[in-house]
Amino acid sequence: MNEPNIIPDGALLIQDGVITDVGPTRRVERLTSARKAQVIDATGKVVVPGFIDCNTQAMSGSPRLNTYGGDSSLPDDRAALKTVRGFSAQRLELETKRHLRNSIRHGTTTVCSLTGYGLDEATELRSLRILKDLHEHPLAVIASYFGANFAPPEYEGRSDAYLRWAMENMLPLVKKRRLAKITDAHCGPTAFPAELCLPFLREAAGLGFRTRVVAGADSAAEALGLALESGAVSIERLRNADTAVIQALSGSSLLATLTPGESFHLGLDHAPARRLIDGGVAVALATGYDSGRSPTVSIPMIMSIACAQMRMTPAEALTACTIQPAHVLGIHHRCGSIECGKDADLLLMNVPDYREIPFHFGMNPVAMVLRRGERVWPRLETV
């Protein structure tokens, strides 16, 4: 595998938030456009692309401390739903801002947050409006409508009726109000079977949504079949994958997003990242932030788990947190790597070698965060 996209010993020029030149220091410094540039000295540091956290649930309620060391279950999801529905718009916004502040400090410059703990019109729309309003203040915030997470209590025993309501009412409404361009569907024993998710995803794709399939526990094969049949771009939160699943994935254009923070927190088996990569599957990493299942916003910690427990190399882990999730979200043309014409989303890391980023687990190596060329951390007064 190629080395990750870093600046080993050179310079880059940023104009209007976009990278306009990358090359040897002396050549870049001689450019006319660089003569009045503000210089940031990165001596002794590694410069890498900003992290892209492509799967989080920033609006998942208060920490569910009783799940620590246990396993995920529907009752916990319903407790979170009750909490989120009870939050005022102000409380929900404050909770989300706190999540984003912590994400920035750990090097995330683009975050995708799923909804899915409202599951009624009022709460889902309120959540999506807040995410839209927080975009570019100061990091990029991408919203995914996750109405197909699980059936809420008022639809007990009527999952098909709920998903039909979400498909016929919420998808057109979210599209009309331009609140999200992505939608996820949760396929699994505590969510929805593939035959119910398929019409939902096809309707979403017809409306122009980018669709993804979230794999439930022990349902990788069913979720994969759904993703392939529906034309989804990725299979999310993949944890269990046998040889047949890996072979099917490698022969498709699907990306696989792994969330090792969930397995770490709940004491579950990790996804077979080494076998997936060796099998030719494109792998992305995400925090999978959720107040009950994966209460972390630290991409460096996710990289540490991936390298130490899932046998990924530092180069693979860094790529899986930058350009690969950019492809998952369909934003690879403007971020995820250090290239001319792309947004200047950059991290200065307090390490001299990128391999040290995952090596020092539980520590934050981020010294500075630039979003479109503007320093957003350690300065955070805009959040």
Strand, coil or helix: 308: helix
Judge whether 349 and 357 are in contact, CB under 8 Å. Answer: yes
245 half-sphere exposure, CB direction, 13 A CA radius? 25
Residue 62 binned pLDDT confidence (cut-offs 50, 70, 90): confident
pLDDT at 349: 95
What is the Cα Rg of the chain in Å? 20
E strand residue ranges, 115-244: 140-148, 182-187, 210-215, 234-236
Q: Find the mean pLDDT for residues 229-251.
A: 94
Q: Find the mean pLDDT for residues 172-198.
A: 95
pLDDT at 32: 61
CA distance 342 to 354: 21
Q: Find the mean pLDDT for residues 210-221.
A: 91
Q: Find the mean pLDDT for residues 105-123.
A: 96
Q: If 0-12 CB within 10 Å is exposed, 13-18 middle and 19+ buried, where does residue 147 land?
A: buried
How do the domains of the chain map onto residue ranges?
49-329
pLDDT at 117: 93
**CB atoms < 10 A from the CB of 200, how many?**
23
Provide the residue type at 44 as one letter: G
Architecture of domain 49-329: Alpha-Beta Barrel (3.20)
Q: If 0-12 CB within 10 Å is exposed, 13-18 middle and 19+ buried, where does residue 243 land?
A: exposed
CA distance 363 to 357: 9
pLDDT at 29: 64
Q: If 0-12 CB within 10 Å is exposed, 13-18 middle and 19+ buried, where does residue 97 land?
A: middle
Task: Give the residue among 236, 241, 200, 199 at the shortest CA–CA distance from 215.
Answer: 236
DSSP 168: I
Tell me, rounded to whole angstroms, the distance of Cα 186 from its chain centroid: 16
CA distance 35 to 40: 14
pTM attached to this predicted model: 0.92
Strand 140-148 and strand 182-187: the pairing is parallel
pLDDT at 30: 65
What is the number of H-type helices and E-type strands within the chain?
Answer: 15, 14
Whether 142 has a pLDDT exceeding 90, the answer reads yes
CA distance 383 to 97: 7
Tell me, rounded to whole angstroms, the distance of Cα 255 from its chain centroid: 13
Judge whether 127 and 118 are in contact, CB under 8 Å. Answer: yes
Mean pLDDT of the chain: 90
